[in-house]
């Protein structure tokens, strides 16, 4: 997981403020909760789409790289040599994998936030009922 990316996301979305509540702001937070679930759910869907597209692009790139090394190379490389020594050292593939890790961090972040907001909704309802009693 990319720690810098997580820190940026926490700061950008002010997560502590979104997920905290007290007896003074609970009604406002209850009203915002459904909107927040939709907001972060939408961001989650968008990030998953980016991740799927990037994974697909990586697979295509690896296939083309393999094909090029196997059939358009003077070295007559074997399948094992290509997969073990050449593909893992490709610089462009390292960049793609780095971007994938960053997006995976974002996906996990938004998944956690959506789950937290759903749980928060229940917690606020219970808290609100206890305040009225």
At residue 10, does pLDDT exceed 70?
yes
For position 130, what pLDDT does the model report? 81
pLDDT band at 1 (very low <50, low <70, confident <90, very high): low
For position 55, what pLDDT does the model report? 98
For position 30, what pLDDT does the model report? 87
Mean pLDDT, the chain, rounded, equals 92
What is the rounded CA–CA span in Å between residue 37 and residue 121? 10
Containing H/E element for 124? helix 91-132
Q: Which residue has the tokens 């020594």?
A: 85
Residue pLDDT, tens place only, 75-115: 889 999 999 999 999 999 999 999 999 999 999 999 999 99
CA neighbor of 69 nearest in space, from 54, 58, 84, 57: 84
At residue 41, does pLDDT exceed 90?
yes
- 102 close to 96: Cβ distance less than 8 angstroms: no
pTM for this prediction: 0.85
Q: Which residues 6+ apart lie within 8 Å of 96 measured at CB?
A: 54, 57, 58, 61
What is the rounded CA–CA span in Å between residue 27 and residue 32? 9
For position 122, what pLDDT does the model report? 85
Q: Break the chain into its structural domains and give their ranges.
A: 49-133
- 118 close to 37: Cβ distance less than 8 angstroms: yes
- 6 close to 112: Cβ distance less than 8 angstroms: no
For position 42, what pLDDT does the model report? 98
Q: Find the farthest-apart pair of alpha carbons in the chain and give their distance in angstroms, rounded.
A: 81
């Amino acid at each position: 997981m990319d720690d810098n990316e997580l820190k940026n996301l926490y700061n950008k979305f002010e997560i502590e403020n979104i997920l905290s509540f007290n007896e003074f702001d609970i009604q406002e937070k209850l009203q915002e909760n459904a909107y927040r679930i939709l907001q972060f759910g939408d961001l989650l869907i968008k990030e998953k789409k980016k991740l799927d597209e990037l994974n697909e692009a990586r697979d295509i790139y690896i296939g083309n790289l393999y094909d090029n090394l196997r059939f358009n190379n003077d070295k007559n490389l074997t399948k094992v040599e290509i997969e073990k020594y050449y593909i893992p050292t490709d610089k462009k593939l390292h960049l793609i994998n780095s971007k994938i890790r960053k997006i995976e961090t974002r996906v996990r972040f938004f998944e956690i936030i959506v789950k937290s907001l759903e749980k928060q909704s229940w917690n606020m309802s219970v808290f609100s009922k206890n305040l009225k009693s």
